[in-house]
Structure 1
Amino acid sequence: MITSADIVANIAAIQSRIDAACKLYQRRSRPTLIAVTKTRSAAEITTAINAGISDIGENYLQEALDKQAELSVQPKQWHFIGPIQANKTRAIASHFDWVHSVDRAKIITRLNDQRPPELAPLNICLQVNINDETSKAGAAKDAIPQLAALVLQQPQLRLRGLMAIPVNTDDIQQQRHNFAALRSIFTDLQAKFPSAVLDTLSMGMSADMEAAIAEGATLVRIGSDIFGPRPSPSR
């Protein structure tokens, strides 16, 4: 079982890896570390926050809501990064600062309509199915411009960028190729919508973080390298 000291040490090691990758690939800006906490306890999340983590990513809505209510110390930002069911958009719109997994028009309009007006606009990343995998969520590459245009029409949403979970591979060159493909779509969006504040590439996890940093990641989503192997989920 992982201890609080393990979590603190793992976070320090990840931050060192980020610094080393930024130096190696001559990155001028440093990506933000999102701690992915699905199936993790409120106590483990509290340890991570006290160790300097400001951004928490959750995949499962009810689990996230339970932990948000239980935590005595809250992160700066909550990120929803899991698949979105239409009947759960109201709670997502009300309880998160970012949503990374938006991939269809219905979800866009529901998140906008259900975002409480007293809250700041919800930060949106469109999820791209970068390798066209039938087993994965995400919009097709050629659908992204139309979805981006729709998000930009919503007053309660703020389009920030793109997210992807590429095919799993240990080949760093293939990892970089996949992330470069996402960056290319992102660059095209910036050119197509010059007045939009497009500043976010959410890409890179424990096994491919360095490749993502090499290709311009601004948010990296790390779970197992912070908290160890995941226990079985309970939702």
Structure 2
Amino acid sequence: MAEEPGTEARRRELSGSLERVRERIRRATEAAGRDSEPALIVVTKFHPASDVRLLAELGVRDVGENRDQEAAAKAAELEELPLAWHFIGQLQTNKAKSVVRYADAVHSVDRASLVSALGKAVGASSRDRALDCLVQVNLDPQAAPGRGGALPEEVPGLSDLLAGTEGLRLAGVMAVAPLGEDPAEAFARLASIAEQMQRRHPGADMVSAGMTQDLEQAVAAGATHLRIGTDVLGARPRVR
């Protein structure tokens, strides 16, 4: 099948930007004195499935999406590719049944009702593996209601609930550094929360933190997974 016009130019563009991001990660890992680099999740929201296919050709294995309708369509179109799909956006309970059909991990679990919905959805699905779930932590006590994330004091109870729900696997924590705050300080707080979780649940070792603007601080604080979009794919296309 012939490639669409512009495909080769887009492949070169993505290859270059991907290498620049990987080099940033390598340098940050070395500066932090870490032995291993964190995994790169390329956030592909609003970009077409054709971009995700090119990224897979370039060695990307983890992709992130934050809207179920878009993610479900891409996952179905690209089901033959060896990709792990990470749902990273706020998730309504009525979308749980759809998300468990394609997601390998949900990074945004922040309330008991969502744990229950995901557990029921996995139980009713044909999945043959547990769904990795990360507790999204709200690091900004001044955040407006509805922004998502469990407060730090809510994390232990939510973690226990996740760990005890059949079909779900407590995988770790996720957070976004608050606007206007030093990311290093925010991610240090997240690292402390992650350590407390791991003492109680040793297998919950994922720390999803760091985006384009603060990946170095996230790596220094021990992030195991970075969520990078714009620096790999460029500006988001306009959504009509």
Output the CA distance in 1 between the equivalents of 2:238 and 2:164.
40
Question: In the alignment, is residue 230 of structure 1 matched against residue 236 of structure 2?
Answer: yes
- Count residues in correspondence: 229
Task: Specify the alignment match of 1:80 in structure 2.
Answer: 87
Report the 3-state secondary structure (helix = DSSP H, G, I; strand = E; otherwise coil) of the residue aligned with 2:166: coil
Normalising by structure 2, we get a TM-score of 0.91
Q: Aligned with 2:74: secondary structure?
A: helix
Distance (whole Å) between structure 1 residues aligned to residue 236 and residue 82 of structure 2? 21
1:121 to 111, 121, 130: 130
Query: Structure 2 residue aligned with 1:153, among 126, 150, 164?
Result: 164
The one-letter amino acid of 2:108's match is S
2:119 corresponds in structure 1 to 112
Q: Match for 1:216 among 222, 229, 232? A: 222
Q: Does 1:166 align with 2:177?
A: yes
Question: Cα offset for 1:110?
Answer: 1.0
CA distance in structure 2 between the partners assigned to 1:118 and 1:130 by the alignment: 33
Cα offset, 1:95, TM superposition: 1.4
Provide, for residues 22-70 of structure 1, a one-character-per-residue CA deviation record: whole Å limited to 9, x for no partner.
Answer: 1011012210000100001011111111111000100110111111122
Which residue identity does 1:224 align to in structure 2? Answer: T
Give the Cα–Cα distance (whole angstroms) in 2 for the partners of residues 8 and 15 of structure 1: 10
Q: Please give the alpha-carbon distance, in whole angstroms, between the structure 2 residues aligned to 1:118 and 1:197.
A: 21
Instruction: Label 1:153 to 1:117 Cα distance change in 2 as closer, same or farther (>3 A).
Output: farther
Query: SS of the residue aligned with 2:46?
Result: coil
- Please point out which of 182, 185, 199 is paired with 2:190: 182
Give the CA deviation at 1:90.
0.5
Report if aligned partners of 1:56, 1:75 keep a CA contact under 8 Å in 2.
no
For 2:206, the equivalent position in structure 1 comes to 200
After TM superposition, give the deviation of residue 73 of structure 1 in Å.
4.5
Report % sequence identity: 35
Q: Aligned partner of 2:153: which letter?
A: D
- Once the two structures are superposed, the pairs formed by residues 26-45 of structure 1 within 5 Å of their partners are 26-45=33-52
Aligned to 1:137: 148
* Aligned residue identity for 1:189: M
Query: In the aligned structure 1, how far is the partner of 2:236 from the partner of 2:156?
Result: 35
C-alpha separation between the residues in 2 aligned to 1:134 and 1:87? Answer: 23
CA contact (8 A) 1:55 1:75 kept: no
* Structure 1 segments of 4+ aligned residues over 4 angstroms from their partners: none
1:21–1:214 Cα contact (<8 Å) kept: yes
The whole-number CA distance in structure 2 between the counterparts of 1:75 and 1:13 is 23
Give the SS at the match of 2:172. Answer: strand
2:69 aligned residue (56, 62, 69): 62
For 1:184 and 1:126, the matched residues in 2 are separated by: 14
Give the 3-state SS of the residue equivalent to 1:162 in structure 2. Answer: strand
CA deviations on 1:149-205 (whole Å, 9 max, x unpaired) are: 000111200001000011134x7xx111000000101111122x14x4111000000
Does residue 46 (structure 1) correspond to residue 46 (structure 2)? The answer is: no
How much is the aligned-residue C-alpha RMSD, in angstroms?
1.7
Unaligned runs of 5+ in 2: 1-5
